[in-house]
Amino acid sequence: MEDHRLGWTLIGTALGRGLRKRCPHCGQGRLLSGWSVLERCPACGLVFTREPGDTWAFTIFLNRLPVAVMVVLIYFGVLGSYPVVGVTLLASTAVLAIVTTHNRTGAGIALNYLLRVYSRDPADPIPPHPGDGAPR
């Protein structure tokens, strides 16, 4: 992979693709089948999770953000001071947490992909970038 792809463009592209539940490498293949993460990209062959647990740190962090918002709301007394506002905010946060589960999973896979790209492990089976013109 060439150095010009290792900048902010690659990060933004990979994260955007992950949030859209697409392969962070090629953007074509889907990441999920129902609630399950696919093993590899059907378009480019990228293995999404090289080792079991590779994406746990990213997934746990991204899943804790909505919970942290709820804790802050309760801690600062929004629920007690303004019950209608507090319940509305808690319900909204809970619904958003559920609705965005797939997107946050995709972002976790994209962050893991970026870690793999930047670490440049020769044993990692990352396929050639689709724009390289190299055979896959």
In this structure, is residue 45 part of a structural domain? yes
Q: Is residue 14 part of a domain?
A: yes
Confirm whether 65 is domain-assigned.
yes
Over residues 7-17, the pLDDT tens digits come to 788 899 999 99
Residue 116 lies in a domain: yes
Q: Are 127 and 45 in contact (CB under 8 A)?
A: yes
> Does residue 106 sit within a domain?
yes
Over residues 108-127, the pLDDT tens digits come to 999 989 988 888 888 887 88
What gap in Å lies between CA 11 and CA 68, rounded to an integer?
A: 25
* Threshold 0.85, pTM exceeds: no
In the chain, the number of structural domains is 1
Domain residues for 17? 3-122
Residue 115 lies in a domain: yes
Domain-embedded: residue 134: no
